[in-house]
Every structure is written in C-alpha cells, then in structure tokens.
Structure 1
Amino acid sequence: MKNILLDLIKEKKFNKLKEELIKLNPVTISEIISGVPTREETIIYRLLPKELAVRSFSYLESEEQLRLITSFSTGETTELIDELFFDDLIDLIEEMPANIVTKILQASTFENRKKINHFLSYPEESAGSLMTTEYLSLKEDMSIGEALKYIRRTGKNSESIYTAYITDKSKKLLGVLSLRSIILSELDQQISDIYKSDDIVTVNTLDDQEIIADKFKKYDLISIPVVDLEGRLTGIITIDDIVEVIEEENTEDMQKMAAINPLTDKYMDVNSLDMAKKRIPWLLILMISASFTSGVIGKYEHTLALLPILNGFIPLLMDTAGNSGAQTSTLVIRELSLGNIGVGDWFKIMIKEFKVSFLVAIILSIVNFLRLYYLEMTLFGRVNKFEIAFVVSFTLFFTVVLAKLVGALLPLGAQKLKLDPALMAGPLITTIVDVLALIVYFYLITTFMPV
C-alpha cells in the first residue's frame, strides 16, 4: 500500500491518493507516514480530512509528530490543537522540544493555555497527568430523552461516551450510567431513577499510574473517573491510555530484572553513553558482590589443591543454584505485580516453595548422583567415587532448596520495604545463591571428606 501511495504522489494524482487514504484506518495511515520521506509525509497528512488527520497524528511516534509540526503553518497548528483530545495534547507537549512547545502554546487559546499549565503541574505518572477533561457529564434531573439529545450534541467532543458521569452543580460525582442503560430506558424516565451511585470505582488525581492500572484490571473497566480530595470530578482516564501505562510498567520491570536502570526512551533513541550509564551501576554492585564468592573459594584453596577434581563441580552447583533461585524469584515477582499474592502471604509462600524445592532437589540430586557414579567414574582416578558423587549431590540438594527459598523471600522483603520487587530478580539472586552454594559445598567436603 505504501508503494502505491508513493507512486500516486510521483504521478501527482492527488485526488486518487485522497480517495485511497480515506479508506484506511488511522493506525495504518500513521504507519505509512512513519515510513516515507518528510516531503511525502507532509503531502499525505495535508490531503487527509481534518478528523482523520488528527486521529492519525495521535498515533504517530514523537519524532514524526515533531517533523510534521515543524512544517505546519500557524493555522494548521491551531487546527490540530483544536481537534486533538486534551490528554493527547498534553502527551504531545511533554514530548516536544521547547521551541515547538512555544509554537503550540502561541496557537492555543487563553483558556487552553490555563488548562495546559494546570495539567502539567500534576506529578508525572499520576492520574492527573493521564486524565482527559473531555468526558460525558449529565445532571440527575435530566430525562433520558434530554440526555440522548445532549449526547448527540456534545458526544463528538468526548473521548468516550460509553459511560456518563452524573454530577451536581459543584461537579461532585454522584454516580455513573452506562450508555446501554440510557438506550434501553424509556425516554420519559429520569436519570436520577436509574444511575448507579453505590460502589463507584474512582481514582484520585495524585494516585500513581500502577494503582490505576490495577483498578482497570480488577474491575474490567474501559474508563475510570478521576476525582479530587473533595470528590469533584476533574476528568477520566480511558483504557487506551492505561494500556500504554501497563506496557511501560512491564518494560520497566523487565529492565530492572535484567539489572538495568530503566530506559526513558526507546532503545534506538538512547545514545551509547547514556546506555552505558544505565548499565554500569548494577554491574558494579554485582561485580563487587561477586568478591564474596572469591573469598569463599580462597578460604578453601588448600582443600582444592589437595583434591583438584572438586573444582570441576563448582560451576555445576553455582549454575543450578542460580537457575533455581531465578525461577522462583521471577514467579513471585510476577504474582506480586499482578496482586495475586502479598507480603501477608509470606508464610504460605515459603511453605509452598519449600515443598516444591524439596521435590525438585530430590530429583536433581538423584540424577546427578547416578550420572557421576556410573557415567563419569573415570574422572575420579583413585579418589573414592562414592564420596565425590555423594558430596556433590548432597550439596546440590541443599543449594536448590536454599536457592528457591531465598528466591521467594527477597522479593517479598523488597515489597515489605516499599521497594520494587523486580530489583530482586535474576542477577542479584544468582550472586547471593552462588555464595550460599559454595559455603554448603565446602562445609560438606570438610565434613565427609576430611583432607
């Protein structure tokens, strides 16, 4: 499709180009605009009907939005601002450089500038920064017939009309009413007789976006009202905004679990120096932590010198312990983020993980013992192969159990301390259980194989 459109531009068949563009979805148009040169993207955008152009613009990445706005006249900028939903306008302003922000503000009305400044005063990642003021509000003394006329007249300017919010004269939220209920009610019925006023799910303007995302998932919402401390309706947050929040939170957790400070931009947009700054702190912490491993090995270097074959099993024990701990920590972190478990469940979690770790450790240690005793006996030379196989397998059993318990305990501890549990993921867990594995290993060597 992109090549067809580019050919129409080359042939200057702009009427045909416009006909083809009108048939497309705004998301598809935004993808096409993103993949063509600046001159062609400007032509495509200016041929779009106003409403379709604005909807397509809202789906563009910030780089493409910047290129287009830079090429806009004052009139085109004003037209864009007038048609954009207010939350999309705020997102745009937050992404643009200072000169473009100035251009946008100059093209805005005085009333819009006041609203923009008010929205930008909310903390980042709060409900206030995510909400839109373009919602459907009804009065409780309206009839259904009056409400339907009002919706037809003003609904085009509302980001969502699936839910109407009932407010009084001071804008205090009284209840909610679904579009389904409005349509299925008699025209002479009063709004006050049918709207829902009990158990309204709301968020406060200062609530964090993670709290909001949790409520969307818990109550299966498509929008949620945002109220201030006095219970006045200040805006709504729609599902499309919260999907982006969930994606951002998941990406941030994944980066933390990989021992990287979260990136603020896309991977390809972050320069090498900034990328290194994000990675170095945790790598330094983990490198210094690994010195404990070296300290444990150094303490028993005499034993290893007398029985050098014992060196060969250290990677096996450390890797298995690290993998076991990482398995458990990943699972616990995910369940914590979904709200399926909490710190109060710590005892049940530890009992469950102990049972699981015991079964896993039994199977791994038996398989390892049989492998060492029957398949790798030539490695042991004159050393008692039963003792070696027993000590290594016994160590494996204890380290797997310990690793899984530690893997469950650390994320729960982080949650208790109001830290992000994702910090206690793979790399950190691995470093801790490596040390524990070596301590257990050398303790059992000196106990069962005195040298």
Structure 2
Amino acid sequence: MKKTFDEICENTPVTEDTVAVIMRQPVVLPPSFRVNEAIERLRQVGPAGAEMNHCCVVDGDGVLLGLVSLRALLLTRGNARLEAVMDHPFATVRPEDDRELAAQLMEEYDLLELPVVDGDNRLEGMVTADDAMTVLQQESTEDMEMMAAMTPSEAPYLESPVVRVFLSRIPWLLLLMISAAFTGGIIAHFEDALAAQVALTAFIPMLMDTGGNCGSQSSVTVIRGLSLGELSFSSWPRVLWKELRTGALCASVLAAVNYLRLLVFSGVGQGVAVTVSLTLAVTVVLADLIGCSLPILARRLGFDPAVMASPFITTLVDAVSLLTYFRLASWLLGL
C-alpha cells in the first residue's frame, strides 16, 4: 500500500540533520503514461516547485523507476511512453541519511534533484539543488564557528542577543582556559631549568605559536577533505605519510632560518640556538601529525571534525612543544 508524503514524514526518525527535514514532495507519474498525458497532468497539478526540474516515474507500489525532466517532456514527441524517455537516477538517499551526504552526492554528480527512497526503493521525496546549497552554507558556517571554539548559532550575528552570543562563547573559553592550565603546569615543573638558563624563557611563545599554526594548517586541510568526501578513516595512513613529509620540509626551513637568526641577532650561545631550533623542528612535525590525525579520529568516533580544529589542537601542541623543549634543553644543555 502506498504511503502519503505526510505519513512518510511522520514515520521517519527525523532530526534536524536528516534528509527527511529538507526533502520535498515531487510530481509522480506512471511509466505507462505518454508524454502528452504527462504534460496534461502537469497542467492539472502544477510543478512541485519552481526549483524542481524533474518528475518521478514510479510503478503501482511506489517503487522509483526513473526520472524524466521537464525539458525532455517538451522536446519529445507526444506519443512516446515515459518508460522510454526517463533516465535512471545516478544516486539516491534515504530519509534518515545525513543531509550533508545528500548535498555531497548532488555536488559530486552535478545533480539538480536527488530522489529519496526507502529500503525497498519506494519513492519518499526529493532533495533540490536549492536545498543542497542551503545545507552546504549552514554546514560551512557551523564548521567555521566550531573551529573558532564557538557553539553554532542559527541566527544572523546582528539579530543575536548579546546573552546568546555570550553563551555560545563562554563554555569553550572556560574549557580552553582550564586545558591551558596544563601547559602552565609543565612550565612550573621545569622552573629550575628556566632559572638556570633564563634565555630559554624568551623562546617559549615562538615555539608554541609556530606549533599551533602548523597544527591548524594541517587540521583545516584535512577537515576540508573530510567535508568534501575526499578523505575517510581508511585514508589516514596516506594522510600521515603526506603530512610527515610536508612537516619535515617545513621544519627544515624554519629550523635553519631560526638558527641563523638566533646566532646573528639574538646573541645567544650556540647551545641555546641548537636547542631552540631542534625543538622547533620536532614541534612542527608533531603538530602536523596531530593536526591531521585528530579530525580523522573525530569523524571515526562520530564527532564533528571541526571540534578538533584550532583550539584543541593548539592546546595539545602547546603541551607537546613545551615537553619537547625542556627535555631537549635538559639533555643538550645539561640542566
């Protein structure tokens, strides 16, 4: 027995991120219809929407057989049957699928509409290009806000009350402040080494900032690949190998330039220059590996990869850079 569109929506587990929220009811036609009959039906019921360019061809049980475009109906002779005119869909989605998946499929196959079917391939709705563009815009905005350590907001900035903006920021700031206390603990633990070689203190901000920047660059690249469907968990080894080589090249240049800068302009001893430059090289490589790994692991565990972007990666890289710095200083300078 065929279900109505309202019954489909009521019986589908709907969340704000599922295809069921954005799908629309298309015009359906039987395969036995001729082109002139299909056009007459369209005159009677009207197009499903100004943004829809296809009608769906279904059998008596509602199973999707194909799609026929309005252009094909206009250009094909009137006595041709729809089963001879229709095209088979390149892809389909289910109502419970993530709406971002629908947008990615439409972008990948350059589709104007994407059919929504159930497990038995019965038609349940249609996603349009306008819907996909809205989804991509919302997802991009959400990722940007998550990467900036903010709770995503649906309202435009100027229309958002100050209290709402405050509430979207303060939980993340508190969390990051508490996590940053860990780096403070590392510095306190090695305060004797800093007292013995005070010059080391001046280079801590540079090491932490450079490591955080490298980790952010790596994570943003990987998050983009995950969002576009170019990367998955199985890509992790290849991503690690690529970022390892990229990080090694960046580390070599940064360490060499920093070593010369310290000897020429800073007036520190060669031991301090070697320690700082070697720490910088190790930090850059580790930051690249951490930055590319956390988003992939987050996606694998079912979290939004953007959560693992700049703020968390920067905090983790800061801790790694400090531990590396003080361990190398203790070893190379005998502190």
Residue 442 (structure 1) aligned to one of 322, 326, 334: 326
Q: Partner residue of 2:290?
A: 406
Residue 251 (structure 2) aligned to one of 343, 357, 361: 361
Q: Partner residue of 1:166?
A: 57
TM normalised by structure 2 equals: 0.92
Distance 2:19 2:318 in 1: 42
Q: Deviations over 1:214-271 (max 9, x none)?
A: 1111111111222234433232221112211111111111111111111132222322
Matched, 1:315 2:179: no
Distance 1:332 1:253 in 2: 13
Distance 2:293 2:190 in 1: 29
Quote how far apart the aligned CAs of 1:136 are: 2.5
What stretches of structure 2 of length at least 5 have no aligned partner?
A: none
When residues 437 and 123 of structure 1 are mapped into structure 2, their CA distance, relative to the original with a 3 A threshold, is closer
Residue 280 (structure 2) aligned to one of 386, 396, 407: 396
Q: Partner residue of 1:25?
A: none
Quote how far apart the aligned CAs of 1:165 are: 0.8
When residues 200 and 363 of structure 1 are mapped into structure 2, their CA distance, relative to the original with a 3 A threshold, is closer
Moved more, 141-150 or 290-299: 141-150
Q: Partner residue of 1:132?
A: 24
Distance 2:70 2:34 in 1: 14
What stretches of structure 1 of length at least 5 have no aligned partner?
A: 1-110
Distance 2:104 2:272 in 1: 52
- For the Cα contact (< 8 Å) 1:165–1:173, is it kept in 2? yes
When residues 123 and 316 of structure 1 are mapped into structure 2, their CA distance, relative to the original with a 3 A threshold, is closer
AA matched with 1:423: V
When residues 147 and 347 of structure 1 are mapped into structure 2, their CA distance, relative to the original with a 3 A threshold, is same
Quote how far apart the aligned CAs of 1:150 are: 2.6
Quote how far apart the aligned CAs of 1:120 are: 10
Q: Deviations over 1:413-448 (max 9, x none)?
A: 111111111011011111101111111111111111
Identity of aligned residues (%): 38
**Mapping 1:423-442, distance limit 5 Å:** 423-442=307-326
Distance 1:117 1:145 in 2: 32
When residues 315 and 131 of structure 1 are mapped into structure 2, their CA distance, relative to the original with a 3 A threshold, is same
Q: Which has the larger radius of gyration?
A: 1
Distance 2:230 2:111 in 1: 19
TM normalised by structure 1 equals: 0.69
- For the Cα contact (< 8 Å) 1:131–1:235, is it kept in 2? yes
Quote how far apart the aligned CAs of 1:119 are: 9.3
Quote how far apart the aligned CAs of 1:157 are: 5.2
Residue 123 (structure 1) aligned to one of 3, 11, 15: 15
- For the Cα contact (< 8 Å) 1:119–1:128, is it kept in 2? no
Quote how far apart the aligned CAs of 1:118 are: 4.3
Q: Which structure has more RCO (C-alpha within 8 Å, separation ≥ 6)? A: 2
Matched, 1:202 2:92: yes
Residue 304 (structure 1) aligned to one of 194, 200, 204: 194
When residues 414 and 222 of structure 1 are mapped into structure 2, their CA distance, relative to the original with a 3 A threshold, is same
Q: Deviations over 1:382-411 (max 9, x none)?
A: xxx111111111111111111111111111
**Number of residues paired by the alignment?**
332
Quote how far apart the aligned CAs of 1:346 are: 0.7
Distance 2:207 2:90 in 1: 54
Q: Relative to total residues, which structure has the larger helix share, 1 or 2?
A: 1
- For the Cα contact (< 8 Å) 1:127–1:205, is it kept in 2? yes
Residue 372 (structure 1) aligned to one of 248, 262, 268: 262
